[in-house]
Chains A and B, each alone.
Chain A
Amino acid sequence: DAKTTQPNSMESNEEEPVHLPCNHSTISGTDYIHWYRQLPSQGPEYVIHGLTSNVNNRMASLAIAEDRKSSTLILHRATLRDAAVYYCILFWSGANNLFFGTGTRLTVIP
């Protein structure tokens, strides 16, 4: 499995934007970049995914570097409910599992 590297933890003030980085220098051309998050005492929750172009949905935006070796998950206005562990995962379309790694623990400060 191609691996990703994320900071162990980050902090953000409430209502400010948050940029969560992910490095994936060994990404292959068929790997999709997925982001999941896990709120305390809950199962992982899908956030967003993309292949080459930047993506937006109601939860977040995903900015993908031109060489695809890194990406950034953007939460436009962090709320207390966004405090979670965020996982960046590479996933090719024929894969059978998600390799989660240890993710980034986001703390949102009121």
Chain B
Amino acid sequence: EAQVTQNPRYLITVTGKKLTVTCSQNMNHEYMSWYRQDPGLGLRQIYYSMNVEVTDKGDVPEGYKVSRKEKRNFPLILESPSPNQTSLYFCASSSSGGGKEFFGPGTRLTVL
């Protein structure tokens, strides 16, 4: 089954404790991205990647890092999480930028 998976689905952590949210897709897509969703603000893109070793900032990249060492994986790294990063995070992939995007189930992160 074609899908995008994320782990963990739920995470509660404390300020400053580094964390990684993993994202994997099994569709051989070149393009992957991360979004965060906050009430009243809709979904906003954090980072995207057009292929292995090619990443770029989206609309709200501050406080986040990403890497794309393999085509299928695109982890989101929070080096020093802060409470304003409490949000619902979605990973997405597509065969090309501008095309139909497939979204993961989401990761609900709470930073205390």
Contact = CB atoms under 8 A, between A and B. Distances in A.
Interface string B80-100: 000000000010100001101
A45 B105 CA distance: 10
B33 A97 contact: yes
Interface of B: 4, 33, 40, 42-45, 48, 50, 56, 58-59, 90, 92, 97-98, 100-106
Question: Chain B's interface: helix, strand, loop or mixed, by majority?
Answer: strand
Contacts of B98: 32, 91-95
A43 B48 contact: no
Interface stretch (A9-17, A69-77, A98-106): A98-106
A42 B106 contact: yes
8 contacts: A43-B105, A46-B102, A93-B97, A95-B98, A96-B50, A96-B58, A97-B58, A103-B42
Contacts of A87: 42
Nearest to B31: A96
B30 to A, nearest CB: 12
Contacts of A94: 97-98
Given A91-B98, A95-B97, A96-B48, A43 B106 contact: yes
A96 B40 contact: no
Given A95-B98, A100-B44, 19 more contacts: A41-B106, A42-B105, A43-B4, A43-B103, A43-B106, A44-B90, A44-B92, A44-B101, A45-B103, A46-B100, A87-B42, A92-B98, A93-B97, A96-B48, A96-B56, A97-B45, A100-B43, A101-B42, A102-B40
Interface of A: 32, 36, 41-46, 49, 87, 91-98, 100-103
By DSSP majority rule, is chain A's interface helix, strand, loop, or mixed? loop
B68 to A, nearest CB: 14
A46 B103 CA distance: 9
**Most chain B CB within a 10 A radius of its CB, from A44, A87, A97:** A97
A101 B48 CA distance: 19
